[in-house]
Structure 1
Amino acid sequence: MSLSDLSIKNPVFAWMLMGALILFGIISYGRIGVSQLPDVDFPVVSINLTWEGAAPEVMESDVVDVIEDAVMSIDGIKDVSSSIRQGSANVTIEFDLDKDIDIATQDVRTRIDQAKRVLPKDMDPAVVTKVNPEDHPIMFLAISSDERPLRDIIAYVQDHLKDQFTSIKGVGDIFLGGYVDRNLRIWVDAKKLDALQLTVDDVINAVAQEHGEVPAGRIETSTNEYNVRVMGEAPTAKDFSNLLIPKRGGHPIHRPIYIGEVATVEDGLADIRRISRSNGKPCIGLGIRKQRGSNEVEVAHKVLKRVEELKPSIPKDMTLAVRYDRTKFSEDSINELIFTLILSAIVTSLVCWIFLGSWSATLNILLAIPTSVLGTFIVVYFLGFTLNTFTVLGLSLAIGIVVDDAIMVLENIVRYREHGIEQIEAARRGARQITFAALAATIALIAIFLPVAFMTGIIGKFFFQFGVTISVAVALSLLEALTLAPMRCSQFLKVGDRIT
């Protein structure tokens, strides 16, 4: 017994199969992430190294050479390159394509940890990252002010604004462009130091000794216990100016000398090495990075909604605006896919009606489109794909293909009906006779598109989802044509004279 005979004999099973494909396809479509490109990890690991104030030659000999020697023994390395600047360096490691990049990243971190004992003690910890286009910000917001200094904008972003966006579901991280850490600066007066016979080292030692909060233990009595806290850190620049300089050249000073007597303390910013501007004004940029696999269009809509909610509470002299939104391209692609589905359904119905002269035949063909396309969404969801440029391309091409098998089967069934054969028997004969031809046509189409999924290189990783998506859609169209289409023809196909 063939598949068509089974579905014709058990129409309830066939209708339930069709309903399940459509229902679960709609559910899967709502859960599939949307992004511009597939989630592909490039076989590249980047190591960012920072040693403030170090000359490029020193960075090369004391840091970069040590890191390169440590990672060279990792299996699968294809190329290692480095770029060095004043106080910073970047080491880029390219691996073979078949190397698991997550394992490679962990191996690099392990080798750097092992090399820490020979690295300079005062350099910043190395930052190891892997390259993925999905980690780029999907949106950029800018907050600026015509009246407030940059320091106040930075404080507002760090203390209030940033947390408002990190709490949004689907947001993975917030990149701050033009952000500079707050810095307490001590501007020492050399003449005042000479007058009091002090040196800069005396001031530095005073800060290290006097500005710190250490555990003070507790006080216990027979009835109570008290936690003790020593308020050793100055909360403001003014309080910092009142810190004592206890020693001169390592020897105690017998009269109190305060930092404010020899220096001016300023609550400012660290050295500005990067800037961010919006319409020519200094600003802080907020780059919204989404979580991998999440729907970037949905995340962008939530961010835009949060921006509108925050505008009334933002200080009047500050402006928050969206300066870049890449999700518009993804949203336009999805809308274009939906438009293509509707347009193809209309055009297909007209063509079928013109050549078959039957609205029941036309409806039969139309039902093949949602069954195959929505069924493809189920496979796309469980394979962990997203609706991106390549999967949408595959679905757009598949829309014109998925009706081919159904039209082939239907036309043969209509031919038997026009010869006067009873409806159910015509469906059986027509489907059985055309099964091999439909199978051969489907295999030929899959043979064209599926090899794309086996392309090598970075391009192959991107086209993998395209090849799988269109192949699944074509395979489901064959299943629909050999099971559901004959069943529907056996129940409500009406054939009359071809008057068109």
Structure 2
Amino acid sequence: MSSGNGWYYALIDWFARNAVAANLLMIILLVGGLYSVMTIKKESQPPIETNYITVNMPFLGASPEDVEEGVLVKIEESIQDIEGIQEIMSTGRRGSGTVQIEVSAGYDVLEVMNEIKNRVDAISTFPDNTEKPIVARTRFQQQINLVSVYGDVDERTLKEYAKQVRNEIVALPGITRAELLGSRPYEISIEVSEFTLEEYDMSLAEVALAIRRGSLDLPAGSIRSDAGDIQVRTKGQAYTGLDFEDILVRTNPDGSRVLLKDIATIKDDFAETGRFSEFNGKQAFTIQVLSVGDQSELEISQTVRDYVASKQVSMPSGVGLSA
């Protein structure tokens, strides 16, 4: 027996002569292993901490070129000298723009993000139709389930059912994130012919200005009273085709009024995109269920499957649900 292995054989000899200690150690190891199996978080892959920050800004009705000129360039110029930024990547699309910033290694991502947010919020030259920019850190999210809502009904009806299912899934215990995939965004198109404009002696700019003024939520300050301040706000934002039809375009000297529906064709439909989704040969929308943070993927998966099994019974005729 070599001297190097003496301690090993001595340990085995000690446990052989002390059976109680050996059995106690074995029980401790078994209990510890069983406890770990029951409590350890089970994942399909480990979480990834990213060093990316995203700035997203809606620009209603703008083309990609307008988004680039009115939003992306201004954001890039305002943040390009911030210490810790390694690369800036911008994407302009119809109706919104996104700027993705990569933070160099060794810098605190949260500190850089706060500085970016301060710089972006300080920009006062964004176009009128832009909304408040959203600055957030890009976080890893794990896909757990895909739930398909499909059927032989029209696209609008099917999308409303899919949105209802998505909302019910998010309301389930332990689930906080689910996204609707494969759906086209709603779009209201307003078409005015050149002959109609000539008939009413109007310009297209006049019609556009009337729509802009007639579809607006606008704060109007506050009124002080003995009971406290009363906030005053006009609620005139149009959301549906019927809302836009009743927008006033012009009031004539004789008191008659010209409404938008009198001069324009208004279509409340979907945006014309090449996006579509099918399930078993039928039109479908897909709901992607995600885990966030320390949520258990196995528990989320089982919760979603139980929900789908119970929901299938109550789905209307012509609409199916599958996970």
Pick the TM interval, shorter chain: 0.7 to 0.9
Are 1:162 and 2:169 an aligned pair?
Answer: no
Question: What secondary structure does 2:289 align onto?
Answer: strand
Are 1:268 and 2:276 an aligned pair?
Answer: no
Question: What secondary structure does 1:108 align onto?
Answer: helix
Query: Residues of 1 paired with 2:242 and 2:95: CA distance?
Result: 32
Question: What secondary structure does 1:154 align onto?
Answer: helix
1:241: which partner in 2? 245
Query: Residues of 2 paired with 1:77 and 1:173: CA distance?
Result: 29
Letter in 1 for 2:130: M
Query: Residues of 2 paired with 1:231 and 1:99: CA distance?
Result: 45
Q: Is the 8 A contact 2:251 2:258 kept in 1?
A: no
1:297: which partner in 2? 298
Residue-by-residue CA offset, 1:432-461 (whole Å, 9 max, x unaligned): xxxxxxxxxxxxxxxxxxxxxxxxxxxxxx
Structure 1 residues 126 and 13, CA gap change in structure 2 (3 angstroms):
farther
Match of 2:179 among 151, 175, 184: 175
1:138: which partner in 2? 144
Structure 1 residues 185 and 68, CA gap change in structure 2 (3 angstroms):
closer
Q: Is the 8 A contact 1:172 1:291 kept in 2?
A: yes
Q: Is the 8 A contact 1:307 1:320 kept in 2?
A: yes
1:65 positional shift: 3.3
Structure 1 residues 125 and 142, CA gap change in structure 2 (3 angstroms):
farther
Are 1:153 and 2:153 an aligned pair?
Answer: no
1:97: which partner in 2? 105
Higher Rg: 1
2:8: which partner in 1? none
Query: Residues of 2 paired with 1:58 and 1:236: CA distance?
Result: 25
Letter in 1 for 2:322: A
Question: What secondary structure does 2:113 align onto?
Answer: helix
1:308: which partner in 2? 309
1:318: which partner in 2? 319
Residue-by-residue CA offset, 1:454-474 (whole Å, 9 max, x unaligned): xxxxxxxxxxxxxxxxxxxxx
Query: Residues of 1 paired with 2:63 and 2:219: CA distance?
Result: 39
1:86 positional shift: 6.0
Q: Is the 8 A contact 2:166 2:179 kept in 1?
A: no
Structure 1 residues 266 and 28, CA gap change in structure 2 (3 angstroms):
same
Are 1:47 and 2:55 an aligned pair?
Answer: yes
1:123: which partner in 2? 130
Letter in 1 for 2:270: L
Query: Residues of 2 paired with 1:178 and 1:26: CA distance?
Result: 43
Query: Residues of 1 paired with 2:92 and 2:243: CA distance?
Result: 40
Query: Residues of 2 paired with 1:197 and 1:243: CA distance?
Result: 18
1:113: which partner in 2? 121
Letter in 2 for 1:80: I
1:288: which partner in 2? 289
Query: Residues of 2 paired with 1:278 and 1:230: CA distance?
Result: 44
Query: Residues of 2 paired with 1:64 and 1:231: CA distance?
Result: 30
Q: Is the 8 A contact 1:47 1:92 kept in 2?
A: yes
297-306 vs 18-27, which moves further: 18-27
Query: Residues of 2 paired with 1:111 and 1:94: CA distance?
Result: 16
Question: What secondary structure does 1:118 align onto?
Answer: coil
Query: Residues of 1 paired with 2:58 and 2:219: CA distance?
Result: 31
1:304 positional shift: 1.3
2:199: which partner in 1? 195
Residue-by-residue CA offset, 1:191-211 (whole Å, 9 max, x unaligned): 344333344444445445556
Query: Residues of 1 paired with 2:237 and 2:71: CA distance?
Result: 34
Structure 1 residues 25 and 99, CA gap change in structure 2 (3 angstroms):
farther
2:39: which partner in 1? 31
Q: Is the 8 A contact 2:64 2:95 kept in 1?
A: yes
Query: Residues of 1 paired with 2:76 and 2:101: CA distance?
Result: 9
Query: Which protein has the bigger helix share?
Result: 1
Query: Residues of 1 paired with 2:297 and 2:206: CA distance?
Result: 55
Query: Residues of 2 paired with 1:279 and 1:245: CA distance?
Result: 48
Structure 1 residues 124 and 258, CA gap change in structure 2 (3 angstroms):
closer
Match of 1:68 among 68, 76, 83: 76
Identical aligned residues as a percent: 24
Are 1:78 and 2:101 an aligned pair?
Answer: no
Q: Which runs of 5+ in 2 are unaligned?
A: 1-10, 221-232
1:274 positional shift: 3.7
Q: Map 1:333-372; keep pairs closer than 5 Å.
A: none
Letter in 2 for 1:241: E
RMSD: 4.1
Query: Residues of 2 paired with 1:231 and 1:22: CA distance?
Result: 66
Query: Residues of 2 paired with 1:107 and 1:36: CA distance?
Result: 35
TM-score normalized by the length of structure 1: 0.50
Letter in 2 for 1:247: T
